[in-house]
Amino acid sequence: MLYRRCGKSGVLLPAISLGLWQNFGEVDAIANCRDIVKTAFNHGITHFDLANNYGPPSGAAEQTFGRILKEDLAPYRDELFISTKAGYLMWDGPYGNWGSKKYLVASLDQSLKRLGLEYVDLFYHHRPDPDTPLEETMTALNLMVRQGKALYVGISNYGPAEAAKAIKILRELGTPCLIHQPKYSMLVRTPEDGLLDLLEQEGVGCIAFSSLAQGLLTNKYLSGVPADSRAGRGLPNGAITTSGITEETIARVRLLNEVAESRNQSLAQMALSWILKDSRITSLVLGASKPAQVIDALTALSNITFTHQELKQIDLILA
Ligand SMILES: NC(=O)c1ccc[n+]([C@@H]2O[C@H](COP(=O)([O-])OP(=O)(O)OC[C@H]3O[C@@H](n4cnc5c(N)ncnc54)[C@H](OP(=O)(O)O)[C@@H]3O)[C@@H](O)[C@H]2O)c1
């Protein structure tokens, strides 16, 4: 495993981390969940990414991971870097969503119970809240660290201007922002518009999510939608749907697949390598429905450099 320093901090993260947004809910077989997590850990993936609302139902992924921790990984707690988040709808009423101190503090307490942990290594505010003062949200993150319930804090889905303000407030509070988690893939390149530069300048790490565009940047949708794929299963909560897979996108994906073949990589491997070619990226959070997908991703690490010509070719396909 390749480990990269997270911004200007003491933390090293594996270049590939494992995310539990999908495939770790109540409907998912615990044996497969356990296999995915153990395969990851056995190959040096020390960082596991969760959130209060991962499931379905919300909370289920933390419960599943808590069970695996207790039954399989308890002796290795200090070899693991575990994150969770809050910011999306979690419970009814005015205190179960967005970014108030009331919501975030209660949510972390609930997450710790589900995970069976005394503290998480990293707690994120999951998305910016347009109505709560940023000072209140950041003060809540600072409080969690002071209380010993989180070692580090981060932000996710913040644009560059909001991120700059959050980073400044956290620094003034004495709890530096460890990391930002944006959506970043060959198909979604918004972090290139100022965010990556800001994070580098501020010494904050960056961990990309949905770098395979939920499976679109693999060869699985090239000849239709397989029934056992994420799109084929018709999952709730923002998962990719059949209608999100257009002919136009598949035409580009087909061309990207040809570039991957010329690099002796699968498209999935090239999509991950393409993210990791940038030294401003600390890690990426991979999603996996089977242990074999974790193994496939790890192979990407043996080729994370691109020639100028390959990059130009990819830019042209994506233009
Ligand atoms: N901060 C946020 O707001 C946010 C939002 C979304 C996600 N995340 C984090 O990022 C993690 C990853 O997100 P994601 O699941 O969207 O990521 P992704 O890595 O883009 O997609 C993962 C899916 O792609 C398919 N796949 C993976 N490897 C493959 C391979 N080698 N060949 C073919 N198909 C493959 C699998 O779907 P199949 O089921 O089709 O096999 C897998 O579940 C989440 O678990 C979560 O931790 C964060």
Q: Residue 230 contacts by C-beta under 8 Å, 6 or more apart in sequence?
A: 22, 214, 215, 239, 240, 289
What pLDDT, on a 0 to 100 scale, did the predictor assign at position 87? 98
64 lines ligand 1 (CB under 6 A): no
How much is the mean pLDDT over the chain? 97
Instruction: Check if the beta carbon of residue 278 is closer than 8 Å to that of residue 304.
Output: no
Shortest-distance atom of ligand 1 to CA 233 = 39
What pLDDT, on a 0 to 100 scale, did the predictor assign at position 243? 85
* 73's tokens: 């990984």
**234 has pLDDT over 90:** no
The one-character DSSP state at 70 is I
What pLDDT, on a 0 to 100 scale, did the predictor assign at position 233? 86
Instruction: Check if the beta carbon of residue 295 is closer than 8 Å to that of residue 43.
Output: yes
What pLDDT, on a 0 to 100 scale, did the predictor assign at position 236? 72
Q: Closest Cα to residue 138, out of 123, 149, 148, 151?
A: 123
For residue 128, whether the previous peptide bond is cis, meaning omega lies within 30 degrees of 0, is no
CA nearest ligand 1 atom 26, residue: 215
Name the β-bridge partners of 160. none
What pLDDT, on a 0 to 100 scale, did the predictor assign at position 244? 83
Residues 253-266 have pLDDT tens digits of 999 999 999 999 99
Residues 152-191 have pLDDT tens digits of 999 999 999 999 999 999 999 999 999 999 999 999 999 9
pLDDT bin (cut points 50, 70, 90) of residue 211 is very high
Kindly state the greatest CA–CA separation across the chain. Answer: 54
11 lines ligand 1 (CB under 6 A): no
Residues 193-202 have pLDDT tens digits of 999 999 999 9
Compute the distance between CA of residue 152 and CA of residue 177 in angstroms, rounded to an integer: 7
209 lines ligand 1 (CB under 6 A): yes
Domains and CATH numbers, the chain: 3-214+269-303 (3.20.20.100)
For tokens 């994120």, the residue is 124
Residues 237-256 have pLDDT tens digits of 788 988 889 999 999 999 99
Residues 77-111 have pLDDT tens digits of 999 999 999 999 999 999 999 999 999 999 999 99
9 lines ligand 1 (CB under 6 A): no
Report if pTM > 0.95. yes
What pLDDT, on a 0 to 100 scale, did the predictor assign at position 54? 97
The one-character DSSP state at 69 is I
Q: How many CA atoms lie within 13 A of 244 on its CB side?
A: 15
What pLDDT, on a 0 to 100 scale, did the predictor assign at position 28? 95
What pLDDT, on a 0 to 100 scale, did the predictor assign at position 160? 98
What pLDDT, on a 0 to 100 scale, did the predictor assign at position 83? 98
117 lines ligand 1 (CB under 6 A): no
